[in-house]
Amino acid sequence: MDSLFSKPPVLGFAAFSGTGKTTLLEALLPMLQEHNLRVGVIKHSHHDFEVDHAGKDSFRLRKAGAQQMLIASSLRTAVIEEQCPPREPRLEPLLLKLERSKLDLILVEGFRHERFPKIELHRRAQGKPFLHRQDDSIIALASDQPLTGTGLPQLDLNQPRQILRFILDFIDTARTGAPE
């Protein structure tokens, strides 16, 4: 695997909207922190969004024409970059923007059409098709009900500690280079 996806390891969560990707990440991040892991997150959004707000200096400067806006304080740093012309983001350039030496793991929400290790999340009630049937980079399936007909490791979507265990094993495999 390309070192861009292995040092630190990159693991995605792929699912249709409304499956609970963000909710699962909210549960997993404190658990990963309990294991003293430094985790970066990249999230794909299909919507326009603002991280600064009208009236704030950073917002005013960006609206005045800054293509890139960096705001920093003693607590955090944020970089806002305008996409001109608008275009769908690609994962690889975003990975390069992170300070990877300060991370033990990068979790990715979305980017389901790109090839990198991912856990598929599936809720039967949504009636959506499985993603792993068209994506061999999916390495596990987390569902709210047991499934048949797949050779992938199956995880209970409603048991974040079980998914945590899978992630910890994934990190160990990435560190040691042992086959999955």
Residue 165, pLDDT score: 98
Question: Residue 118's domain is classified under what CATH number?
Answer: 3.40.50.300
Q: Is the same domain home to 60 and 131?
A: no
| The model's pTM | 0.87
Q: Is the same domain home to 172 and 106?
A: yes
Please list, in sequence order, all residues whose beta carbon lies within 8 angstroms of the beta carbon of residue 126, skipping any fewer than 6 positions away: 16, 18, 19
Residue 118, pLDDT score: 97
Q: Is the same domain home to 169 and 134?
A: yes
Mean pLDDT of the chain: 88
| Distances in whole angstroms, Cα of residue 38 to Cα of each of 13, 18, 106 | 18, 27, 9
Q: Is the same domain home to 80 and 109?
A: no
C-alpha dihedral (106, 111, 112, 114), degrees to nearest 10:
-90
Q: Is the same domain home to 117 and 80?
A: no
Domain boundary, last residue among 34, 58, 87? 87
Containing domain of residue 18, as a range? Answer: 3-44+89-176
Q: Is the same domain home to 150 and 117?
A: yes
Q: How would you write the pLDDT of the chain (180 residues) with one tens digit per residue? A: 467 777 899 999 999 999 999 999 999 999 999 999 999 999 887 555 567 778 887 788 888 878 888 788 888 888 878 878 878 889 999 999 899 999 999 999 989 889 999 999 999 999 999 999 999 999 999 999 988 888 899 999 999 999 999 999 999 999 887 654
Query: What distance in Å separates the CA atoms of residue 101 and residue 78, rounded to the nearest whole number?
Result: 18
Q: How many structural domains compose the chain?
A: 2
Q: Is the same domain home to 102 and 76?
A: no
